[in-house]
Amino acid sequence: MSHKIALNFEDGVTRFIDANLGETVADAAYRQGINIPLDCRDGACGACKCFAEAGQYDLGEEYVEDALSEEEAEQGYVLTCQMRAESDCVVRVPASSDLCKTQQASYEAAISAVRQLSDSTIALSIKGEALSKLAFLPGQYVNLKVPGSEQSRAYSFSSLPKDGEVSFLIRNVPGGLMSSFLTGLAKAGDSMTLAGPLGSFYLREIKRPLLLLAGGTGLAPFTAMLEKIAEQDSAHPLHLIYGVTHDHDLVELDRLEAFAARIPNFTYSACVASPDSGYPHKGYVTQHIAPKHLNDGDVDVYLCGPPPMVEAVSGYIREQGIAPANFYYEKFAASA
């Protein structure tokens, strides 16, 4: 029996390892070619101190107070030379992937489908045997190489892996390198290369209500998160607000409806910023955040959208005099 451990490095690279029953995380990492900073292996120096963001584990009692205090252990800090996983875990490593002698993985796959969901949004699915080994945390992204060029573009997964296939929501940028390929040249079977996973924007263990805020194709990481939540359920309320500029930018509403039917505590709303909109809910995302969604600060906020939206939401929450328990965000800007 083994457990999967996601090691998140400070440069944004994530690598997954398998830890056998009774094996320390440090030993499992070394066995798979990843050198987590380590000196003593006896729980005495603290060189391998990391932070466990999710999962169950045992630290034993052999480490010393100078290496890991009782208060640090209660907060979630661990010594990987003593940590033995009792479930799948997510561990934040305070070092770069280069320092730990690892790097982001690269995969080859082929286009399985390209769909124009609207004038502004393209759905891309890719599939391949190599992707059956792909693992990522819902919300993370990869760098997709644009076929026929040496350039890559970063896109969040919009689905979890299934049968070696993953999907993305891609903004259709006029003149954009990836957009031009997908709308004019791409066909099923075309080869694509992706590198990752990357990013610190991902679903953490749900310990309180969640407020999910998406702008445009910033919806992508949330549909992957919701797939995961649908698999494991949640005892806490979850609310998503999805904002776009024009009516024709609204996509995947049927998918959100399906999530609302599958996840008992999940609700969502969508809004359109254009004053010419015919959609029932108009305005910006901030105009649709109700006090109950912020829950007097006992809430984890996840925000993904273009930089102006991220700044506006951050400012709005500050103006309410509320500090969320956790505030995770990711900005994205289109590349021409």
Taking residues 299-310, report their average pLDDT: 93
Taking residues 53-76, report their average pLDDT: 89
pLDDT band at 63 (very low <50, low <70, confident <90, very high): confident
With a cut of 70, say whether residue 240 has pLDDT above it: yes
CATH topology of domain 210-331: Rossmann fold (3.40.50)
With a cut of 80, say whether residue 148 has pLDDT above it: yes
> 292 vs 334, which has greater pLDDT?
292
Q: At what angle do helices 220-232 and 253-262 cross, to 10 degrees?
A: 20
Taking residues 300-319, report their average pLDDT: 92
> 104 vs 59, which has greater pLDDT?
59
With a cut of 60, say whether residue 335 has pLDDT above it: no
| Average pLDDT of every residue of the chain | 92
The pLDDT of residue 122 is 95
Residue with token string 């208060």:
71
The pLDDT of residue 102 is 85
Taking residues 218-225, report their average pLDDT: 97
The pLDDT of residue 334 is 59
The string of pLDDT tens digits covering residues 94-127 is 988 888 888 778 899 999 999 999 999 999 999 9
Domains 105-198 and 210-331 share a fold: no
Whether the Cβ atoms of residue 124 and residue 181 lie closer than 8 Å to each other: no
Ordered by start, the domain boundaries in the chain are 2-93, 105-198, 210-331
Q: Which of 104, 214, 85, 191 is nearest to 145 (CA)?
A: 191
pLDDT band at 258 (very low <50, low <70, confident <90, very high): very high
Whether the Cβ atoms of residue 43 and residue 67 lie closer than 8 Å to each other: yes
Other Cβ atoms within 10 Å of 86 Cβ, number: 13
The pLDDT of residue 333 is 64
Q: Which of 329, 293, 331, 320 is nearest to 211 (CA)?
A: 293
pLDDT band at 14 (very low <50, low <70, confident <90, very high): very high
What CATH code would you report for 105-198? Answer: 2.40.30.10
Comparing 184-193, 314-323, 325-334, the range with the smallest average pLDDT is 325-334
Task: Write the secondary structure of the chain as one string of H (helix), E (strand) and C (coil).
Answer: CEEEEEEEECCCEEEEEEEECCCEHHHHHHHCCCCCCCCCCCCCCCCCEEEEEECCEECCCCCCCCCCCHHHHHHCEEECCCCEECCCEEEEECCCCCCCCCCCEEEEEEEEEEEECCCCEEEEEEECHHHHHCCCCCCCEEEEECCCCCCEEEEEECCCCECCEEEEEEECCCCCHHHHHHHHCCCCCCEEEEEEEECCCCCCCCCCCEEEEEEHHHHHHHHHHHHHHHHHCCCCCEEEEEEECCHHHCCCHHHHHHHHHHCCCEEEEEEECCCCCCCCCECCHHHHCCHHHHHHHCCEEEEEECHHHHHHHHHHHHHCCCCCCEEEEEECCCCC
What CATH code would you report for 2-93? Answer: 3.10.20.30
Distance separating alpha carbons of residues 297 and 336, to the nearest angstrom: 38
As a whole-number percent, the residues of the chain with pLDDT over 90 amount to 75
> 126 vs 232, which has greater pLDDT?
126
